[in-house]
Amino acid sequence: MVDRVYKRNATETAPQPPADPSEGYPTDGNPAQSIPATAPGAYWFHMITESLRRVVVEAGLTPDHEDLGQVLGALNRIAARGVTTVTDADSPKALTIEDAGLVLVDASSGSVELTLPSVSNNQGVSYRIVRTDTETGNTVTLTPDGDDTVDGEESLSVAVEGRAEIETGAAPAGVGDWQASALRDASETKKGILRLSTSAQAQELADDNTALTPAKLADAFKNLNHSLGPSGYQIFPGGLIIQWGETEGYAATGNGVTTTTFPISFTSECYIVLNTDNDLTSTSYVRVGNLTTTSFDAFVDSNGCYFLAIGV
């Protein structure tokens, strides 16, 4: 609609604004009253055409005089109302200028790869990629054209329920770069989003893809990682285990040596067992030995003793 195409008699030079314009509203005129009809003039047609043409060009489209819906399409793109839906059935999907705006991606049935058009030929183009699924086992990846990059990287992943807003940017060192403002999975080198750990993940002390809140950090030391009482244990991040309890007195064995089983087994080694009296009315003589991951031997008096064991 808004290409510079006419039936005949077009010129290569744009018309100039009228030196003495007639301002107001147009009229059909009235010959009986000697009122002439309004004459738009070449500049009026030029003004309308170029104003509409600018909308199409700014939307990243090529003006086409045969496409009478092009201005509406351009406005939809600019207002991000143009919506493209992509599923794994469409993958790999090559995004075009016509897809600029909102792109909804559903990777619930499989991973999706989107390829971006060339930066150099599409300045001003932007996409808002929104992932609508919750399938953590599938990926959504944006791959630039040729040697182009996304924030200097060869690709960009969109996290589950995340989004990425990208637009063409400058071309450093001759390479086109898509600039991204993305809700993506965080890494050690790239900012992004992290889900909050569940209590179970915090207590397993193994997950590397979630973040600990203060409350979940407290949970990490609870449940199977600790048992509080006269006999108990605490497991710390890194594997350190502290256990405590009380031995039996020699009367239980008859020879002064008693074997005490730890509340839980150490994973690999018990480093040390410390003992102290458990009776204020007498002084105990205590020796320990035969430390294993599950127990230790102690030579004690009739009252037994308290112990503190440290290991991994």
How many C-beta atoms lie closer than 10 Å to residue 228's C-beta? 9
Q: DSSP string covering the chain, please?
A: --SS--SS---SSPPPPPSS---S-----BGGGTBPPP--HHHHHHHHHHHHHHHHHHTTPPP-TT-TTHHHHHHHHHTT--EEEEEGGG-SEE--GGG-EEEEEE-SSS-EEEEPPPSTT-TT-EEEEEE----TTS-EEEE-STT-EETTBS-EE--TT-EEEEEE---GGG--EEEEEE--B--SSS--B-EEPPHHHHHHT--SSEE--HHHHHHHTSGGGEE-SSSEEEE-TTS-EEEEEEPPPGGGTSSSEEEEE-SS--SS-EEEEEEEES-TTS----EEE---SSEEEEE--TT-EEEEEEE-
- Taken in order of first residue, the domains within the chain and their CATH numbers are 39-76 (no CATH), 80-180 (2.60.120.640), 228-311 (2.60.40.3940)
**Encoded tokens for 145:** 């054209």
In this structure, the strands spanning 101-106 and 83-87 are parallel
Strand 163-168, strand 112-115: pairing:
unpaired
Confidence of residue 283 (pLDDT cuts 50, 70, 90): low
Omega of the bond leading into 230 within 30 degrees of 0 (cis): no
User: Does 162 score more than 70 pLDDT?
Assistant: yes
Mean pLDDT for the stretch of residues 278-286: 70
- The tokens for 249 are 């007195």
Instruction: Specify the pLDDT at position 240.
Output: 95
Cα–Cα dist 81/104, whole Å: 12
State residue 183's pLDDT score.
Answer: 57
The proportion of the chain whose per-residue pLDDT surpasses 90, expressed as a percent, equals 20
Contacts of 300 (CB under 8 A, 6+ apart): 247, 249, 250, 256, 258, 275, 284, 285, 286
Is residue 309 predicted with pLDDT exceeding 60?
Answer: yes
154 and 116 in contact (C-beta within 8 Å)? no
Q: What is the pLDDT of residues 195-226, one digit of tens each?
A: 788 888 888 878 877 888 888 888 888 888 88
Give the mean pLDDT of 236-246.
Answer: 93
**How far, in Å, CA of 155 to CA of 180, rounded?**
11
Q: Read off the pLDDT of residues 81-132 as tens digits, 9 standing for 90 and up.
A: 568 889 989 889 998 887 888 889 999 999 999 988 888 777 778 888 888 8
Assign 174 a pLDDT band (cuts: 50, 70, 90). very low
Q: Would you say residue 43 has pLDDT above 60? A: yes
